[in-house]
Amino acid sequence: MNFKSILAMVRTPHLAVQGQLRNDLQAYVRVNFLYAAFEAGLLAALKTPLTLSELVSQLQPKQPELLESLLRVGVMLGEVAQENERYSLRGNRSRALVADDGDAIAAFVQEYVSYHGSVYRHLPERLQTGELGNYLQGTGNLIARSSRLLESFVAVFVQEVIRAAQPKRMLEIGCGSGVYLHYAVQASPLLTGIAIDMQADVIEQTKRNLQQWGVDNRFELMVANVLNPPANIAGPFDLVTLYNNIYYFPVAERVPLFKKIRAWLKPGGAFALVTLMRGNNVDSANFDLILQSTQGCYALPTLDELTAQLRESGFSVDMQAQLVPMELYYGVLGKLV
Ligand SMILES: C[S@@+](CC[C@H](N)C(=O)[O-])C[C@H]1O[C@@H](n2cnc3c(N)ncnc32)[C@H](O)[C@@H]1O
């Protein structure tokens, strides 16, 4: 570098910020590489070391040079190794995405790049038009897969709830895959109940899962919207659960919903919720933005707001547990006063 180049560099506006941004963008490029290489089947193919021509015959790209260019990015990031003409997986992230137990982490990357990325790209026009994104359509399976990252933390809370509430009969609202019904019956072998979800295809999946786990005889499954429930879920129940779906209800509808749940409970009955809370944390602020950009979703509650709404609805707050270290992900247990 000669003297003139050094002078040009010193005169470059925001030189330090450019350095910071280049550093940030390395992480951005890595996440995008992982997304593209996973979706294109490249990571799965590279579980076995392959030459470029072997990769081309396996993945059949229309433009082999584009694949080679993607591989070069992977090599530069340290995600892909290139040794003796063969490419293989090197980085721990790329290996994890295609490991036998890596599906949730792959879905996490897919969710950020496809769903969150779209939210940020469209945000300026949304602020002008007020039109939200139709993201619930078609992302159900992706969200179900990525939520499994939190499964073991919620499972601990489900077991605590069962110990505290000793339920014989429960209602789960928005049951999704049914995974927490499985944990509930494992913790309480005689437990029975009803599980509802407003999406018919979700209930079909719940049914298959419960059959696979051998607990389908414990729960009656219904396609139902809790805001307009059929008469046969009138209760009474010892426990009602609402895991990872408070943000499907507008803030003003939460107290009326909690009062409806209260009416379904037996005296001394319990109401358990799990949700990410709004607060001073980047993940929480990001998720709140994603929700508020999505048709049919609403703001995250703060812990104070949620517990105040529970009290207003006639519950005492018996437990509020931070489920994931450093994250504002909470389990809250209300008891009928
Ligand atoms: C994010 S998923 C959570 C699923 C499950 N509880 C879990 O934690 O894995 C939310 C689920 O709630 C369902 N849901 C949302 N609003 C609902 C309503 N008003 N009545 C019934 N189900 C609802 C959705 O269809 C979706 O399957």
C-alpha of residue 97 to centroid of ligand 1, in Å: 26
Strand, helix or coil for residue 20: helix
> Has residue 125 been placed in a domain?
no
Which CATH number belongs to the domain containing residue 160 in this structure?
3.40.50.150
Answer with the one of 73, 97, 121 that is the final residue of a domain.
97
The residue whose CA is least distant from atom 13 of ligand 1 is 174
Q: For ligand 1, which residues put their CB under 6 angstroms from it?
A: 143, 147, 173-177, 179, 196-199, 202, 225-227, 243-245, 248
What dihedral angle (degrees, nearest 10) is formed by the CA atoms of 301, 330, 114, 207?
-110
Say how far apart CA 328 and CA 192 lie, in whole Å.
31
Query: Which of 97, 120, 137 lies at the terminal end of a domain, its last residue?
Result: 97
Collapsed DSSP state (helix, strand, coil) of residue 250: coil
Pairing of strands 329-336, 315-322: antiparallel
> Rounded to 5 degrees, what are φ and ψ at 56?
-65, -45
Token pair of 137, please?
């359509």
AA identity, residue 153 = F
CA distance 121 to 86: 37
The tally of domains found in the chain comes to: 2
Mean pLDDT by 10 residues, the chain (337 residues): 84 90 97 98 98 97 97 98 97 98 96 97 97 91 90 97 97 95 96 95 93 96 95 90 97 97 96 97 97 97 98 97 96 96
The CATH number given to whatever domain includes residue 58 is 1.10.10.10
Q: How far apart (Å, rounded) are the C-alpha atoms in residues 261 and 237? A: 9
Nearest alpha carbon to residue 237 among 167, 180, 316: 167
175 CA to middle of ligand 1, Å?
6
In a domain, 202, yes or no: yes
Residues 263 and 189 in one domain: yes
pLDDT of residue 150: 95
In a domain, 128, yes or no: no
Pairwise CA distance, residues 28 & 45, whole Å: 23
C-alpha torsion angle, residues 171, 173, 176, 177 (rounded to 10):
-10
For ligand 1, atom 20, name the residue with the nearest CA: 225
Laid out side by side, the sheet with 50-51 consists of: 50-51, 86-89, 80-83
Kindly state whether residues 65 and 200 are assigned to the same domain: no
Please report, for residues 33, 79, 315, the alpha-carbon distance to residue 56 in angstroms, rounded to integers and kept in the order given: 18, 19, 62
How close is the Cα of 295 to the center of ligand 1, in Å? Answer: 14
What single letter denotes the amino acid at residue 139?
T
Q: What gap in Å lies between CA 111 and CA 281, rounded to an integer? A: 19
Q: Write down the residue that tokens 């490419």 correspond to.
A: 87
User: Quick one: 57 and 169 in the same domain?
Assistant: no
Token representation of residue 90? 């090197």
Strands 192-197 and 169-173: parallel
Q: Which amino acid is at 309?
A: Q
Give the C-alpha separation, 262 to 335, whole Å. Answer: 9
Per DSSP, the three-state class of 150 is helix
- Separation CA 158–CA 74 (nearest Å): 40
- Distance, CA of 241 to CA of 87 (rounded, Å): 48
Protein residue closest via CA to atom 2 of ligand 1: 176
Residue 3 within any structural domain of the chain:
no
CB of 74 closer than 8 Å to CB of 33: yes
Domain containing 38 equals 13-97
* Mutate which of 248, 329, 330 for ligand 1 pocket (most atoms within 8 A of beta carbon): 248
- pTM of the model as a whole: 0.92
